[in-house]
């Protein structure tokens, strides 16, 4: 029997729970939210879809879940400029949920922003093996990158975003198989930095895009599919010359989390951006 937990069943978590039920990702869903009427409503609403899944809400069950998707905490509003600006407001939520997750031994997928920092903090406060902490955001950013490349008429692929899930994201141009000059790279990067804000302004927050990719990541973990290389936030121990943080890198993911961080030869522009991203995330971790 497989079980999938979602902590924080708001806009993103609720969508993930519904998709997980619809896709039959797990036999059991464990849904937890601090706002109990919302939690109850999400359970009822998904139950009414009559999918073949058991839905529980007992927090004591969290520690035994195979995968836990963490989507609790405040999202950005149009006045919050960067995801990093959510650090202070979401730290108490991480702290609170660490207590609820004490003894957890599955794979934790961190979504809550600032995601890279939160992923790292979870590993430390839960004493969870670093490889079991997988930060989500890279797949979503990469999908936005692919769309932007198509819009700019830049052919090639695959489109990958590494680095921070935030202002310090690192689009990988060197694997596109087509040369893209630095000025064009910077223009694409600027557009990518603003990609989600239009959604936030228009409908209050991103939901469908994240939920689709989060469920794909959870499915990759649960089915132990290590064949694909996915961009996700990994806790590094020397890879790419980095350590002591979680940062977006290409990885193979399976039932135990990050099975392998894949080392690519990045070009000079990308390496400089990745090192800047690492410095920025490390500073945020120090401030946490
Ligand atoms: N990494 C990504 O790619 C990505 C994508 C989308 C959203 N996000 C982030 O995900 C987070 C959630 O976004 P959202 O739009 O779903 O927000 P939301 O406000 O709709 O939902 C958050 C939920 O968390 C719950 N919550 C708060 N504190 C809690 C606690 N201590 N225990 C349990 N539940 C608690 C709230 O009651 C709420 O229902 C935000 O930080 C957002 O920035 C990240
Ligand atoms: O942009 C945000 O604040 C939400 C999320 O990180 C996203 O990329 O959709």
What is the pLDDT averaged over residues 254-283?
98
Counting ligands in written order, which one lies closest to the CA of residue 201?
A: 2
pLDDT the model gives residue 187: 97
For CATH 3.40.50.720, the residue range(s) in the chain are 3-135
What is the pLDDT averaged over residues 128-156?
96
Q: Which atom of ligand 2 is nearest to the CA of 113?
A: 6
Ligand 1 proximal residues by C-beta, below 6 Å:
7-13, 32-35, 38, 71-76, 86, 90, 93, 96-97, 111-113, 115, 136-137, 140, 165, 205-206, 210
pTM (2 d.p.): 0.98
| Cα–Cα distance measured from residue 278 to residue 155, given in angstroms and rounded to the nearest whole number | 29
| Average pLDDT score over the chain | 97
8 A C-beta contact, residue 72 and residue 13: yes
pLDDT band at 262; cut points 50, 70, 90: very high
pLDDT in tens, 65-104: 999 999 999 999 999 999 999 999 999 999 999 999 999 9
How many angstroms is it from 202 CA to the middle of ligand 2? 13
Contacts of 136 (CB under 8 A, 6+ apart): 69, 109, 110, 111, 115, 165, 210, 213, 214, 217, 232, 233
Q: Percent of the chain, pLDDT > 70?
A: 100
Is 13 annotated among the ligand-binding residues? yes
| Cα–Cα distance measured from residue 246 to residue 120, given in angstroms and rounded to the nearest whole number | 5
pLDDT the model gives residue 226: 86
Cβ 40 under 6 angstroms from ligand 2? no
Counting ligands in written order, which one lies closest to the CA of residue 194?
A: 2
Q: At residue 62, does pLDDT exceed 90?
A: yes
DSSP, residue by residue, 21-80: HHHT--SEEEEE-SSHHHHHHHHHHHHTTT-S-EEE--GGGGGG-SEEEE--SPPP-TT-
pLDDT band at 20; cut points 50, 70, 90: very high
| Cα–Cα distance measured from residue 55 to residue 105, given in angstroms and rounded to the nearest whole number | 20
| Cα–Cα distance measured from residue 71 to residue 111, given in angstroms and rounded to the nearest whole number | 5
Q: Which atom of ligand 1 is nearest to the CA of 100?
A: 32
Cβ 110 under 6 angstroms from ligand 2? no
Cβ 169 under 6 angstroms from ligand 2? no
Q: At residue 156, does pLDDT exceed 80?
A: no
Please report how many Cα atoms fall inside a 13 Å half-sphere around the Cα of residue 1, on the Cβ side.
9
| Cα–Cα distance measured from residue 255 to residue 157, given in angstroms and rounded to the nearest whole number | 27
pLDDT the model gives residue 227: 87
Cβ 118 under 6 angstroms from ligand 2? no
Q: Which atom of ligand 2 is nearest to the CA of 144?
A: 8
pLDDT in tens, 212-258: 999 999 999 999 988 899 999 999 999 999 999 999 999 999 999 99
Which of the listed CATH numbers 1.10.645.10, 3.90.110.10, 3.20.20.210, 3.30.70.270 matches domain 139-287? 3.90.110.10
3-state secondary structure of 267: coil
pLDDT the model gives residue 13: 98
Helices (H), the chain: 11-23, 36-47, 87-100, 115-126, 138-152, 182-193, 197-203, 208-222, 268-287
Fold of 3-135: Rossmann fold (3.40.50)
For CATH 3.90.110.10, the residue range(s) in the chain are 139-287
Q: At residue 155, does pLDDT exceed 90?
A: no
Look up residue 207 and give its DSSP letter. -
Q: At residue 157, does pLDDT exceed 90?
A: no
């Amino acid at each position: 029997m497989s079980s999938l937990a979602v902590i924080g069943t708001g806009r993103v978590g609720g969508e993930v729970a519904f998709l997980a039920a619809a896709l039959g990702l797990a036999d059991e869903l464990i849904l937890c939210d601090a706002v109990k009427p919302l939690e109850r409503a999400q359970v009822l609403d998904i139950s009414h879809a009559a999918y073949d899944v058991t839905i529980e809400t007992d927090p004591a069950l969290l520690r035994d879940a195979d995968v836990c998707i963490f989507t609790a905490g405040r999202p950005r509003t149009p006045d919050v400029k960067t995801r990093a600006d959510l650090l202070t407001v979401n730290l108490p939520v991480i702290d609170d949920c660490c207590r609820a997750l004490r003894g957890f031994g599955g794979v934790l997928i961190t979504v809550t922003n600032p995601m890279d920092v939160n992923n790292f903090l979870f590993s430390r406060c839960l004493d969870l093996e670093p490889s079991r902490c997988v930060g989500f955001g890279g797949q979503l950013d990469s999908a936005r990158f692919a769309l932007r490349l198509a819009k700019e008429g830049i052919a090639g692929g695959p489109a990958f975003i590494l680095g921070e899930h935030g202002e310090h994201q690192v689009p990988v141009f060197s694997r596109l198989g087509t040369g893209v000059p630095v000025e064009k790279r910077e223009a694409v990067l600027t557009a990518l930095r603003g990609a989600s804000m239009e959604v936030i302004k228009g409908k209050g927050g991103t939901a469908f895009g994240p939920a689709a990719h989060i469920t794909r990541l959870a499915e990759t973990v649960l089915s132990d599919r290590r064949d694909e290389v996915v961009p996700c936030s990994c806790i590094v121990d020397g890879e790419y010359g980095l350590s002591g943080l979680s940062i977006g890198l290409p990885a193979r993911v399976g039932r135990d989390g990050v099975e392998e961080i894949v080392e690519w030869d990045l070009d000079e522009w990308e390496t400089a951006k990745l090192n800047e991203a690492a410095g920025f995330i490390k500073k945020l971790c120090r401030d946490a």
